[in-house]
């Protein structure tokens, strides 16, 4: 969707992994003074030394010398428990006190492992018994109770996958899981708020494997079946997700400045032929006037709430797993921009330079993503080519060919792209609804990319991009999926995933799999805007943008495609845990988080920062209050009805 008077285009934006305690199914040794059984003194049967199983109470100590028996009849050979009490012949004593003079009783045969035998009858005075041999030390295990009870613990991803046997937890901490006792992420150990060890099904998204992901500061430092033994895992907050870990989703096209509105505020009266038509609608103009009032400065008669509008849009995406978004105004250094999700088309949200596409001749700048919100006509091709050459611009995202098949006005935008010489690898075309097989083939050959927004297209034009044709070209064309905006498009990228699945199944049965669609909002989306060196997949060295999703771990891709907001259990942006189920808030990365309702589920959201600069110390409640009041004021003045503000999420 392209519109007039719009600031910025919107590009917004783990086999199952389960974590658990090691399986200590063997019965641990009962805590004794000294540990394992000593050899019996005279008059007692020697109990078997405790076998070195997992100790319920820690490492078994060497047995101290058994007290000497008193030279009588050997007791019957009781079986020693596993690492358990001494057999008949008396309990192990300290340092083997000498018995009275007399002949030592013969030791009974060692019993099999089991319950400690009954102490033998004391004999008459005899020769001092020899101090008992020390029992072998048991292997240290998880903390147990005083009775040496079984300390085994099962863990699985939704009960389907066994956990690695190397989970280290603090025995002084109780795990924090869902308060209703259901299946969900569980804090096993609460440590640093800038270091996390996540366990679950790691969906990279090329593969889905049971394992762990270690995050240190803002970088992924380990992706493996086990990361727990690495030095970096020391002191980390450990979370068993009991679910799936995906890369954070990248929204490559979203006009988030309009996210305070939805189709209740403007709905077309007809289907259009191209994007120049619907912008002339009276109702659209009224909505645009309210938009201008919200974002314009007070000196211009506005409410000066552009920070609030942007943060509301960022949070609207973040609560459903959007960690990067293309959708804020350019040319402003304001710190409030990209303070939540990663708004990567603005100065505050730009990624650090760590890689660059070829060809490049000069050192690149961080401002490497550009957007032409008003289409190809507004692009200065001379400046654009110079920026491509010097790597100032890695990706140029432009509306091209937005309209119905056969519309000459919309198709002329493709012709202009060719004439300007902008059919290059840096160009990503938004919509392309008028394009066909020849154009898609040319794009693929040139290394261009395509961004698809089906719901918005159908809302405005009654048709969408011919993805069936674009999917068939060789070499493969990079295609990303994005919601466009909330007025007739999807409220968020999760809704767009679900819509694209339904549309594809209806119109192109068997064409797009769940995995294909997931990649369109992760790895392929990163390629579409040339940030694949830093985002889009779960790999060592990439930035830690991650989400935790609940659902069917046997079908992880479909689980995400069909997920609802309640299924997004945790959201991490740049290594910071900012959104999640409310009971997980002790693991949050910021000190002042709020609890909000999202589709009947309590979620924590961390919006407020410690800095007071540029409204960074606002809470979500502050943002919502300011926007709601301003829209109400505008309605009173203009006689419109844009209140209440569009909700953060639409619930089933």
Query: Which range is least confidently modeled, 252-261, 354-363, 486-495?
Result: 354-363
- Among 652, 259, 325, which Cα is nearest to 488's? 259
Tell me: pLDDT of 77 over 60: no
| 614-627: average pLDDT | 94
Tell me: pLDDT of 637 over 70: yes
Give the C-alpha separation, 652 to 586, whole Å.
Answer: 29
Q: Give residue 327's pLDDT.
A: 75
Q: What is the mean pLDDT of the chain?
A: 77
Tell me: pLDDT of 5 over 50: no
Confidence of residue 305 (pLDDT cuts 50, 70, 90): very high
Q: Give residue 142's pLDDT.
A: 36
User: What is the phi/psi pair of residue 326, to 5°?
Assistant: -105, 105
Give the C-alpha separation, 168 to 165, whole Å.
Answer: 9
pLDDT tens per residue across span 568-580? 999 999 999 999 9
Domains of the chain: residue spans and CATH: 28-152 (no CATH), 256-536+581-638 (3.20.20)
pTM: 0.73
Nearby residues of 560 by Cβ (< 8 Å), 6 or more positions away:
203, 244, 246, 497, 514, 518, 549, 551
Beta bridge pairs of residue 324: 250, 342
pLDDT tens per residue across span 410-427? 999 999 999 999 999 999
Give the C-alpha separation, 189 to 550, whole Å.
Answer: 20
Tell me: pLDDT of 456 over 60: yes
Provide, rounded to the nearest whole percent, the portion of the chain with pLDDT above 70.
Answer: 69
| 164-179: average pLDDT | 56
Confidence of residue 16 (pLDDT cuts 50, 70, 90): very low
pLDDT tens per residue across span 594-608? 999 999 999 999 999
| 38-53: average pLDDT | 36
Beta bridge pairs of residue 238: 189, 197
pLDDT tens per residue across span 280-297? 999 999 999 999 999 999
Tell me: pLDDT of 270 over 60: yes
Give the C-alpha separation, 293 to 634, whole Å.
Answer: 8
The better pLDDT of the pair 28, 274 is held by 274
For residue 549, give both structure tokens. Answer: 């999703």
The better pLDDT of the pair 93, 181 is held by 181
Mean pLDDT comparison of 54-68, 321-335, 415-429, highest-scoring range: 415-429
Q: Give residue 453's pLDDT.
A: 98
Helix (H) or strand (E) holding 437: helix 437-446
């Amino acid at each position: 969707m392209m519109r007039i008077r719009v600031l910025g285009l919107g590009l917004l934006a783990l086999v199952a992994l389960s974590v658990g305690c090691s399986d200590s199914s063997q019965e641990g040794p009962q805590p004794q003074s000294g540990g394992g059984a000593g050899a019996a003194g005279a008059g007692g049967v020697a109990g078997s030394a405790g076998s070195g199983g997992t100790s319920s109470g820690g490492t078994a100590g060497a047995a101290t010398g058994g007290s000497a028996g008193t030279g009588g009849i050997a007791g019957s050979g009781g079986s020693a428990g596993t690492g358990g009490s001494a057999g008949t012949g008396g309990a192990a004593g300290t340092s083997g006190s000498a018995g009275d003079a007399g002949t030592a009783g013969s030791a009974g045969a060692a019993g099999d492992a089991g319950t400690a035998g009954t102490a033998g009858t004391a004999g008459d005075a005899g020769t001092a018994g020899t101090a008992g041999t020390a029992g072998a030390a048991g292997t240290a295990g998880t903390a147990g109770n005083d009775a040496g009870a079984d300390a085994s613990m099962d863990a699985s991803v939704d009960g389907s996958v066994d956990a690695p046997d190397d989970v280290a937890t603090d025995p002084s901490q109780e795990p924090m899981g869902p308060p209703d006792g259901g299946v969900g992420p569980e804090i096993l150990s609460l440590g640093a708020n800038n270091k996390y060890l996540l366990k679950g099904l790691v969906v990279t998204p090329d593969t889905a494997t049971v394992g762990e992901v270690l995050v240190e500061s803002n970088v992924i430092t380990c992706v493996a079946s086990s990361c727990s033994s690495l030095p970096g895992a020391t002191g980390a907050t450990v979370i068993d997700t009991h679910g799936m870990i995906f890369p954070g989703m990248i929204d490559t096209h979203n006009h988030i400045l309009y996210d305070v509105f939805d189709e209740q505020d403007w709905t077309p009266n007809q289907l259009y032929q191209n994007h120049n038509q619907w912008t002339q609608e009276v109702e659209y103009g009224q909505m645009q006037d309210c938009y201008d009032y919200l974002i314009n400065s007070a000196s211009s008669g506005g409410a000066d709430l552009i920070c609030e509008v942007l943060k509301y849009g960022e949070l609207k995406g973040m609560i459903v797993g959007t960690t990067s978004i293309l959708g804020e105004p350019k040319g402003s250094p304001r710190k409030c921009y990209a303070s939540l999700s990663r708004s990567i088309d603005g100065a505050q949200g730009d990624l650090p330079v760590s890689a660059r596409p070829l060809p490049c001749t000069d050192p690149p700048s961080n401002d490497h993503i550009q957007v032409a919100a008003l289409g190809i006509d507004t692009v200065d091709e001379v400046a654009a080519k110079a920026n491509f050459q010097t790597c100032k611009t890695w990706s140029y995202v432009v509306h091209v060919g937005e309209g119905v098949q056969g519309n000459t006005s919309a198709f002329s935008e493709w012709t202009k792209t060719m004439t300007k010489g902008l059919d290059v690898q840096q160009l990503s075309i938004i919509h392309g609804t008028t394009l066909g097989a020849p154009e898609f083939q040319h794009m693929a050959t040139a290394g261009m990319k395509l961004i698809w927004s089906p719901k918005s297209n159908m809302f405005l034009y009654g048709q969408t991009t011919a993805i069936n044709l674009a999917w068939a070209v060789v070499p493969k064309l990079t295609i990303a999926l994005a919601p466009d905006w909330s007025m007739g498009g999807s409220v968020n990228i999760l809704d767009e995933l679900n819509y694209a699945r339904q549309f594809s199944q209806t119109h192109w049965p068997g064409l797009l799999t769940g995995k294909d669609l997931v990649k369109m909002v992760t790895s392929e989306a990163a390629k579409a805007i040339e940030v694949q060196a830093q985002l889009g997949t779960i790999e060592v060295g990439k930035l830690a943008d991650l989400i935790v999703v609940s659902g069917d771990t046997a079908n992880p891709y479909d689980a995400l495609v069909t997920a609802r907001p309640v299924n997004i259990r945790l959201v991490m942006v740049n290594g910071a845990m900012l959104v999640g189920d409310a009971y997980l808030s002790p693991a949050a990365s910021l000190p002042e988080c709020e609890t909000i309702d999202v589709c009947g589920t309590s979620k924590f959201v961390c919006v407020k920062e410690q800095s007071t600069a540029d409204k960074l110390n606002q809470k979500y409640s502050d943002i919502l209050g300011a926007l709601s009041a301003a829209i109400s004021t505008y309605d009173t003045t203009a006689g419109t009805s844009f209140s209440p503000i569009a909700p953060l999420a639409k619930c089933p």
